[in-house]
Structures are given as C-alpha cells and as structure tokens.
Amino acid sequence: MTSLKTWTRAAWVLAALCAGPAMAADPAAPKTREQVRAETREAIRTGDMPADGEMGCKRNEMNPSQYPPQAAPGGAKTREQVKAETRQAMRSGDMMTSGEAGCGPQPVQSGGQGKTRAQVKAERDAAIRQGGMQGTGELAGSPLPANPAPRKAP
C-alpha cells in the first residue's frame, strides 16, 4: 500500500508541476490588466480599433495615411504584382471607385441593361406616391400631384 500512495503522490506532484506552464501558455487564459493595457495601446497606435460610425471599419482602414503600414500577409510583393492585381480588381469590379463608402472590396452587381432616366424618375415618383419612399426638398412628405404641371424654361 505504501508504494501505491507514494506513486499517487508522485503523480500528483508531477501533474502540478506540468500544469503551471501549460496554463500559462493557454491563449484563452485571462490576461493581466497590464497585458490588456499594452494590447490597447498597440491597437490605438496601429489603428486597429473600430472607427466611429456604423460602417464597422477600423480606423486604419478609414484613414490609412495616419497609421503605420501593416505587413502584408503572405510576404512582400513587387510593384508590378500589385499593379497587376489592381488592374484585375478594376476589371472584375472588386475595387471601389473614388468617393464610394465602405471598408474593403465590395462586389459591384450589374443590373442588366439598365433603365432610361425617364423610367427611373417614373419609378421614383410612383414609390413616393405609394409611400414606399420619402420625398426630398421642401415638399418632403407631401404627396406628388397626379399630373404635375410642366416646368417653364428659364
């Protein structure tokens, strides 16, 4: 019996010695206050914090010139490789044009043939009359007349 107790104690001591480093290496383990502060300072410095607003973008995505450049995942690329990727993204519609809002690549969906200006205006007016869309300007909220008077040329 003494031998079994000795082996059991030795096993518990060995388990206790191995558990400490194993728990310290666990990334899901709670962080200390100083670790959290250091991570927050680094995220603020690199812009890896949520930006104000509802878009869900990070600060370094909204204003990349204000933050240090991030290392590219997958290694460095040559200038020619980047240019080729940009041309391909422009051709495929994965790249946003100047003035568009968003955080990253957004696919452009083609609406088919498209509509004339008159068709779009007629659809808009019908939507406003049916209450599906709010009007704009001084008459916002007031219904459009059934037959609007033609405008005089200035």
Per the DSSP assignment, residues forming a β-bridge with 50 are 58
* DSSP H or E segment with residue 83: helix 79-92
In terms of domains, do 35 and 24 share one?
Answer: no
Domain boundary among 13, 47, 66: 66
> Taking 90 as the threshold, does the pLDDT of residue 60 lie above it?
no
- The 10s digit of each residue's pLDDT in 16-34 is 666 665 555 566 778 899 9
My answer on whether 17 and 40 are in the same domain is no
CA distances from 9 to 19, 23, 147 (A): 15, 21, 95
Which residue range is the domain that position 17 belongs to? 1-28
On whether both 23 and 35 belong to a single domain, the answer is no
Alpha helices in 1-78 (DSSP H): 2-24, 33-46, 59-62
Residue 109 in any domain: the answer is no
Same domain, yes or no: 24 and 35: no
Q: Is the pTM of this model over 0.75?
A: no
Whether 98 maps to a domain, the answer reads no
pLDDT for res 129: 85
Same domain, 18 and 38: no
Shared-domain flag, residues 16 and 41: no
Quick check: 115 and 121 in contact, CB under 8 A? no
Work out how many domains the chain is built from and give that number: 2
One domain for residues 2 and 23: yes
What pLDDT score does 69 carry?
78
